[in-house]
Amino acid sequence: MLTVTSRRVIDTGQRQSREMLHSKIVAVNTYDDGIEFNLSNRQNASLFRMNKGLGHVVAATLNAAMQMAKCRSPHLVSLFFVGLEQRCFGSATN
């Protein structure tokens, strides 16, 4: 199972678990049926296969989680994108 939080991505597998901190992610490759993470502390990329169409959903979820972390709000923050400018609303300082 792949879990995306505001600080990390966690792969909870049957044999082992892996943690990928957002600060260590240097590149993400999105595929229709998977997602691949390149991390600064690993030589090989981590590729996760999933049902068709979910790779882009995971990438969008990761993007939203990383943006929420930048807002540094302890509460739920709504993210609005106006052109290329991101604005954070909620209890975070704008």
To which residue do tokens 């991390």 refer? Answer: 39
In order of their start, the domains of the chain are 2-89 (2.30.29)
From residue 23, alpha-carbon distances to 2, 19, 86, 92 in Å are 18, 12, 19, 21
Residues in CB range of 11: below 8 A, 6 or more apart: 1, 2, 3, 17, 18, 19, 20, 46, 48
Q: What is the DSSP letter of 42?
A: -
Structure confidence at residue 64 as a pLDDT band (50, 70, 90): confident
| Residue 89 predicted with pLDDT over 50 | no
The closest alpha carbon to 57, from 30, 39, 23, 82, belongs to 30
Write the pLDDT tens digit of every residue in 4-61.
888 888 888 788 888 999 899 999 999 988 899 999 988 999 898 888 888 888 888 8
